[in-house]
Each structure stands twice: as structure tokens, then as C-alpha cells.
Amino acid sequence: MLRATSVISFVALLLTAVGGCSESSHATSTEAAASIDKSQFLLVEEPSDAIGVMIAREDAKDKDEIVLLARIGGRRNPFIEGRSAFMVIDASMTIVDDGQESGKGQVCLDDCCTTLRKESTMLVKVVGADGKIVPLDARQLLDVNENDLVVVKGKVERGKDSFSVAATGVYVRR
């Protein structure tokens, strides 16, 4: 009886330890998520005068404040794991599935659409007050998914060969 009790206690202890470990790692990511005030990045009202990705790429200069209307997408996986950054595509364009030919207003992921893809997609980085990217997955921070329409308010970061927006606020069209 004593032996059986010891075995049961040992197993219980082991399970508690294992459970404890997994809980603690889960808790760390949950704590990180909890410490970020998500409401400061989510806009309650949709900003006006939004422009599309293609126009922004053509006209916007470095450090310009812009309002961008775009659809989350443009890559097989548009979200950057663990960071509040995601690819967007011009709202008038859609990405076609592998092996399918693209028509008007569509772009594929093959070589044939390289130029069009470059012109119609860009990276959006959600940044905090310190100007650094928020270290939380955009799906968690903004509760968004692929193909969601978003209106992004932020500053243009244009380099010689790069173009992105450092967003301070995002409005999600539901």
C-alpha cells in the first residue's frame, strides 16, 4: 500500500513538474502579450483620405505621413512570426493560387509577375512610441487575418531599394 502511494505521489509530482514547465513558457508569451496595450495601435475610427499601395509606392517620399488602404497578403505567408509586421497588397489586386494563370487585377507568385508584385505589395511595420517594431505577432496585436482590409496610418520609410510603412495605428475594416 505504502509502495503504491509512493508511486502515485512520484507520478503526480512528475506531471506537476511537466505541467508547470509548459505553463511557465506559455505564461511568458502571455505576459509579453499582456504587457502591450493593444488599444493604442487599433484605431477606433477609420482615417480619411487613404491611398492605395501602388499610388503610395509611386508618390510617397521618405518620412511622409500617409494613410494607406490595403489588403493583408501578397505572399504565401504575409505575417512575420513574432513581430507586428505584415505584407499588404493593393486593395484592387488579388493573389492567385499556385499553378493558376493571373488575369486582370491579379498577381501570381511566379517570375512572370515579379514587376507587378513589386509595384503592388509592401511591408507594414507596427511601431511603438520608441520607433521599434512591436515584438508581438500582428495577428495577436491587431486580431487580423490574411485578406483583411486595413487602413494604416504611419510614416513612409523609403530607401534606395526598399519601401515600407512604420505604422502607428491600424484600422481594420470588418
Partner 1 sequence: MKTLPWEYGVRNLFRRPTRTALTLVGLTTVILLIFVVVAFIRGLEASLAASGDEDVVLVYALSSGADIENSSIPARTPALLAASLDGIQRRFDVQHISPEVYLGTRITVAGTDKKGLGLVRGVTTAAPLVRSKMQIVEGEWPGPGEVLAGKLAHSKLGCREEALSVGSTVTFDGREWRISGRFTAAGSAFESELWCPLQDMQTALKRQDLSLVAMKMAPGGSLAEVEMFCSERLDLELKAVPEAQYYASLQQHYKPVRLLGWVVVWLIAGAGVFAGLNTMYGAVVGRVRELSTLQAMGFRRRAITMSLIQEAVLLSVGGSLIAALIAFLLVNGTAVRFTMGAFALRVDSLAVVIGCGTGLVLGLLGAVPPAMKAMRVTVVEGIKAV
Helices and strands, counts by H and E, the chain: 4, 7
For the chain, give the number of residues.
174
Q: For residue 140, which amino acid is it? A: Q
Output 46 or 163, the one with its CB closest to partner 1.
Answer: 163
Question: Based on CB atoms, which residue is closest to partner 1, 71 or 117?
Answer: 117
CB of 47 vs partner 1, minimal distance in Å: 23
Q: Pick between residue 8 and residue 32 the one whose CB is nearest to partner 1.
A: 32
- What is the rounded distance in angstroms from the CA atom of residue 143 to the CA atom of residue 130? 22
Rank residues 48 and 162 by Cβ distance to partner 1 and give the closer one.
162
What is the Cα–Cα distance from 54 to 70, expressed in whole angstroms? 10
Burial profile 38-61: b = 16 or more Cβ within 10 angstroms, e = fewer: eeebbbeeebeebbbbbebbeebe
Residue with smaller CB distance to partner 1, 85 or 144: 85
Query: Binding residue for partner 1 (CB under 8 A) from 38, 47, 164, 169?
Result: 164
**Number of CB atoms found within 10 A of residue 68's CB:** 26
Residue type, 121: T
By CB under 8 A, tell whether 31 contacts partner 1.
no
Binding pattern to partner 1, positions 73-92, x when CB under 8 A?
--x----xxxx-x-x-----
> Under rule CB under 8 A, which residues in 97-156 are in contact with partner 1?
98, 109-111, 114, 117-118, 121-123, 125, 133
Task: Answer whether 139's CB lies under 8 Å from 155's CB.
Answer: no
Binding site for partner 1 (CB under 8 A): 75, 80-83, 85, 87, 98, 109-111, 114, 117-118, 121-123, 125, 133, 159, 161-164
